[in-house]
Amino acid sequence: MEFIYNYDELKKRILNKYVKLTNFSNDLGISQPTLSKRLNNKSDFSFNEIVRTVELLEIDVNDIHDCFFTTKQAV
């Protein structure tokens, strides 16, 4: 079973702090097209990318699930 993740909360936090996805992808150390693939469920975030995102956006441990693991639907 493959999951489709809802990254709306994550996108909101990125844009709130960085204004543009490109600014965030540079700090995260990945290209903007790679970030776009992650946010559009075309590829998965690595563990290290999740950890770095939590650090960069100062995401509280209680909010990690909402940002990375909320599903839209099961396929």
Under DSSP, the state recorded for 4 is E
Indicate the CATH number for domain 3-74. Answer: 1.10.260.40
Of 58, 22, 75, the residue nearest 67 (C-alpha): 58
Judge whether 3 and 71 are in contact, CB under 8 Å: yes
**How much is the pTM?**
0.91
Rg from Cα positions in the chain:
12
pLDDT for residue 74 is more than 70: no
Please compute the mean of the pLDDT values over residues 6-26 and round it to a whole number: 98
Structural domain boundaries in the chain = 3-74
Each residue of 36-64: pLDDT tens digit? Answer: 999 999 999 999 999 999 999 999 999 99
